[in-house]
Structures are given as structure tokens and as C-alpha cells.
Amino acid sequence: MSLDVMRGITIAFMILVNSPGSGSSVYAPLRHATWHGLTPTDLVFPFFIFIMGVSTCFSLRKFNFQPTPAALGKIVKRTVLIFAIGLALSWFRLFCAGLSAGENLVQAATHFSNLRILGVLQRIALAYGFAAIIVLLVKRKHIIWVVATLLVGYLLILLFGNGFEMSEQNIISVVDRAILGEAHMYRDITPAGERIAFDPLGLLSTIPSIAHVLIGFLFGLLILNHSDNHERVKRLLILGTILAFSGLLLQYGCPINKKLWSPTYVLVTSGFAAQLLGLLIWIIDIKGKIRWSRFFHVFGVNPLILYVLSLVLVILLANIKFTFQGELISIYRFIYAKLISPWTSAKFGSLLFAVLMVLICHLAGYLLYRRKIFIKI
């Protein structure tokens, strides 16, 4: 249950930061770091990746971590499905935007020339798929060396590929443009305010995210190998502290950077995630305090479907428009600007809108939860 609750916390927070009433009116802790640095929001996605690694350990245990046809088939099927859902969401965003702009169905449905190929769900799919196959093919005692090789190798790529400069000369941007094409990439904004072809969820930065999943897998093994919860908590807190402290020290040579998914970012966020999991085991499993966690447990048992629901809602609300007082306005904008914002400050109103989105998704999740419907992807 602790793992489900932690997963639910991350999903709820992902929905919160992805659904502000106004992107220009957001409290600082709910923004991503512009380049180097770390905010609370920058912890959310890597926490989910870490949890995915722990869950991968539990799910592959029934195959005895052997590369059987059933195990490989499950991994490939799940990887393809999650990637396809992410790609479908990218298409759906363009489709709705086209309809909103007055295009006909055919025009709106055929914006393939500028379809973004990568994204959050695509990153999850690739990181999970490669990490799970590594787990099946590599002896468990050697996985830590795979993690080290991936992180050190990626660091060398960054060092020799202009990797710590946010520009189109960055090796990450160069590789994505060469393989995906600039039209299929996200265009990010530099600290100087320039918009460039740079995808923070690019192909090269998938390498350290694979290591991230493997670190979660190793912590999953730790949990499985120790049946006493006090021992689990002690080891999670100690090893988590070591990882986080190591990343914080090494940032002077390798900056902590989410958009690069830098090796120090992997270490720090994995350490914090292990500490949070240890804390939740202590609160929920040892102390038995679970009533507070029910809200997050609803998100944790149906994580991906509720995350997808939140994105679909945002896309629909942002593109369904109507005329109000002579102004053409989207439902999204109407709720924030006309119903919420007049009664409060811009930033607090933006936060209230995001909280409303979380509550709507929670209601949907609660209906599934009450009926014991758990949608596995």
C-alpha cells in the first residue's frame, strides 16, 4: 500500500502542475527549473520513474527474473501500448486544436507533419521497456554496474557534446533533429527567452532514465530481501541519503538538470524517492496510519488511466469554445478567468483551478476504486 500511495502522490502532483489556470501565473515551487537547478515540481516525474522500477521488480518476480517468452511478451506489449497512448495524445492535441481553429475533420486529423513523437508516456514506455529487458538478461548482482555504466557514459556524452548548454548545438538537440526531425520535436524556451528545438524528453536523455528505473528495481530487491519493515525503512533511508548526498556533492562538476536528466539529477531524485518510500512504510505499515492516504491510494491503483484522463480533459477544455459577452472563449479560460480569478489573486486562482482538476480526476478514480476496477496497462 505504501508504494501505491507514493505512486498516487506523484500522479496527483503531476496533474496539479500540468493543469494551472494560467501558465503565466504559477507559484515558483510549481514551476520546473528553467535550466540547472531543482524545484519540488522537478521531483514528480523521476519519483514515478523510481516507483516504476520498484514495481517492475515485484511484477517480474513471478517470472523468476528469467527471459521467458511470457515475460518478454508482457514487456514488449506494455512498452508498445504505453508509447502508442502517448503518441495518440500528441495527435489528439493537434486534432482538437485544428477543429478549434475551424479546420474540417480530415484537415484536423492529418497534422502528422508536426506530430511530436516523444513525451511523458513515451519516456515511461522506453525507460520501462529497456530496463525490464536488462533485468531479465543481466544477473542481478551486475545491474548496479549497468547503472554506473549508463550514467558515466551519458555524462561523457554531455561533456563532449556541449551537453550543458541549452542551445540547438547541444548533442541532445542534434541527435533528436537528426533522427526525429525538428518538426516532430518540442520547442523549449531558453533562460534568455529564445524558443529553440530542444526536447527535454529526447532520445539521448532516455539513457539515464533507464538507469533510474534500474535503481528503483534495486530498491525493490532490497524490499523483497528483507521481510522486516523496520529493516526496510532503515536501509531505504540510509541508502537514499547516500544517493541524494552524492548527487548534491557531484553537482559542482555535473549540474542537476531535469531537462538533461543529468546523472546527478538521477542520484538526487532517486535518493529522495527512496527516503519518501521509507517514510511512507514507517507511517502506513509500521504505525498503521492510513486514513489520510486514501485520497492518494485512489490515484495510485489507477495511475496511468487517471493521468491520461487529466490530459484529455485539459485538451478538451482548452479547445471547446463558446461566445461569452461577445468574446470567443474556451471553457478552460472561462472557468479560470471568469469564475475563479475575479475572486482571488491570479496565482492563487491558477492554483485553485489546478486543484479542481485534481478533484475531478479523483472523483473518476474513486468511482473505479469503489467498484474495484483497476485498469492495468
264-279 average pLDDT score = 97
Residue 376 has pLDDT above 90, yes or no: no
What is the number of structural domains in the chain? 2
pLDDT for 377 beyond 80: no
Residue 120 has a pLDDT of 94
196 has which bridge partners?
188
> Residue 18 — very low, low, confident or very high, per pLDDT cuts 50/70/90?
very high
pLDDT per residue as tens digits for the range 126-142: 999 999 999 999 998 99
What is the percent of the chain with per-residue pLDDT over 90, rounded to a whole number?
Answer: 77
pLDDT at 151: 97
Nearest to 212 by CA among 317, 128, 315: 128
Average pLDDT value for the chain: 93
Q: What digits encode the pLDDT tens for the residues 201-257?
A: 999 999 999 999 999 999 999 999 998 999 999 999 999 999 999 999 999 999 999
279 and 307 in a common domain: no
Let me know: does 175 contact 203? Beta carbons within 8 Å.
Answer: yes
The verdict on 351 and 212 lying in the same domain is no
Query: Sign (positive/negative) of CA torsion 108, 324, 315, 193?
Result: positive
Distance from C-alpha of 341 to C-alpha of 349, rounded to nearest angstrom: 5
Residues whose CB falls within 8 Å of the CB of residue 86, separated by 6 or more in sequence, listed in order:
119, 120, 121, 122, 124, 125
Average pLDDT of span 290-305: 93
DSSP class of residue 255 equals -
Does residue 4 lie in a domain region? no
pLDDT digits (tens, 9 = 90+) for 152-200: 999 999 999 999 998 889 999 999 999 999 999 998 888 777 888 899 9
pLDDT of residue 39 exceeding 90: yes
- pLDDT for 42 beyond 80: yes
Higher pLDDT, residue 81 or 326:
81
* Among the listed residues 128, 122, 177, the one whose alpha carbon sits nearest the alpha carbon of residue 311: 122
Rg over CA atoms, the chain: 21
Q: Which residues contact 255 (CB under 8 A, 6 or more apart)?
A: 36, 37, 164, 262, 264
Same domain, 202 and 338: no
Residues 139 and 27 in one domain: no
Per the structure, the complete domain to which residue 139 belongs is given by 36-288
**Helices 2-18 and 44-60: crossing angle, nearest 10°?**
150
The CA distance from 260 to 205, in Å, is: 6
- Please give the model's pTM, rounded to 2 decimal places: 0.93
pLDDT of residue 95: 93
Backbone angles phi, psi at 329, to 5 degrees: -140, 145
The answer to whether residues 66 and 209 belong to one domain is yes
Domain co-membership, 146 together with 267: yes
Residue finishing a domain among 241, 257, 288: 288
3 in a domain, yes or no? no
Residue 310 clears pLDDT 90, i.e. is over it: yes
pLDDT value of residue 205: 94
- Backbone dihedral region for residue 132 (phi beyond 0: left; psi -120 to 50: alpha; all else: beta): alpha
Q: How far apart are CA 352 and CA 318, in angstroms?
A: 17
Question: Residue 274 in contact with residue 219, Cβ under 8 Å?
Answer: yes
End-to-end CA, the chain: 19
Do 236 and 356 share a domain, yes or no? Answer: no
Whether residue 193 is found in the same domain as residue 45:
yes
Asked, for residue 2, whether it belongs to a domain, the answer is: no
Mean pLDDT across the stretch 16-30?
A: 90
C-alpha cell at 240: 537514499
Last residue of a domain, one of 267, 288, 309: 288
Cell of 312: 484529455
- Same domain, residue pair 112 and 225: yes
Mean pLDDT of 54-69: 92
101, pLDDT greater than 90: no
Specify if 261 maps to a domain: yes
Helix axes 44-60, 120-137, angle to 10 degrees: 40
DSSP 8-state code for residue 217:
H
Same domain, 78 and 208: yes
- What is the C-alpha separation between 133 and 173, in angstroms, rounded? 27
Residue 27 lies in a domain: yes
Domain boundary among 288, 310, 341: 288
The pLDDT, as a whole number, for residue 247 is: 96
Give me the pLDDT at residue 326, please.
82
**Predicted local confidence at residue 122, as pLDDT:** 96
> What is the structure's pLDDT at 116?
92
DSSP string, 308-324: HHHHHHHHHHHH-EEEE
pLDDT score of 221 = 95
